Amino acid sequence: MAEATRGRPRSEKARRAILTAARDLITESGYSELTIQAIAARSGSGRQTIYRWWSSKALIAADLILEGELTLPAQPVRDTGSLERDLTEWLEGIANAMADANVASLMRALITAASDDPEEAKLLYSMSTGPYHQGIVERLKQGKASGQLRESTDENAVADALIGTVLFGALTAGARTSTPASVVNVLMGR
């Protein structure tokens, strides 16, 4: 049993420094400019230490999201009584948030990380867009309960379509013309 904890334990300090440095570099210059070299230099750690604990840049990003260091803006789905108004507000809120260069860049960072490492993509998305998904589904269920949404509607489908719309919007950077209201209108079956 003596073998279990031999040697120096992992330095939590180094781990934090690396994650913080990675977060700063991503927000400053974007995920595609991110290099292990730069993370090591900025965090004052050795490169080996990074490779020892993370096997890819995407996994560092995953950790950042997990720890809330790198997070899409919290965007709760309010409950004012009107489901349509609440969803529209949510989509408008996200759209407005994407107008901020930092948020848009983070969103693109997420997409880049996911798109060139399919293995990690699910993890990344469940961590970052998961809360949105969950919030939307819950609000939809509430809407069903209050009779504002037909029973047959698949809440997951609506959530996926909404988030997919947000992603598409982030990538095309406002080239699209359809408004949040019209999307929600469609999704709710009006």
Partner DNA sequence: GGCTAACCGAGACGGTACGTCCAGTCTTGCT
Partner DNA sequence: AGCAAGACTGGACGTACCGTCTCGGTTAGCC
Contact residues for DNA (CB under 7 A)?
2-3, 5-11, 14-15, 17, 35-38, 43-49, 51-53
Residue numbers at the binding site for its own copies (CB under 8 A): 30-32, 104, 108, 111-112, 114-116, 118, 121-122, 125-126, 150, 152-154, 156-169, 171-173, 175-179, 182-183, 185-190
Residue 108 interacting entry, from DNA, its own copies, none, C-beta within 5 to 8 Å by type: its own copies
Chain centre to alpha carbon of residue 129: 4
| 73: DSSP letter | P
The minimum distance between CB 151 and its own copies, in angstroms, equals 11
Instruction: Round to whole Å and give the CA distance between 126 and 10.
Output: 27
Instruction: Round to whole Å and give the CA distance between 124 and 70.
Output: 11
Residue 8 interacting entry, from its own copies, DNA, none, C-beta within 5 to 8 Å by type: DNA
- Cα dihedral sign, 26-71-102-138: positive
Residue 52 interacting entry, from its own copies, DNA, none, C-beta within 5 to 8 Å by type: DNA
Chain centre to alpha carbon of residue 42: 24
Per DSSP, helices labelled H in 100-154 are 101-115, 118-128, 130-145
The minimum distance between CB 25 and DNA, in angstroms, equals 10
Q: Which is nearer to DNA, 57 or 139 (CB)?
A: 57
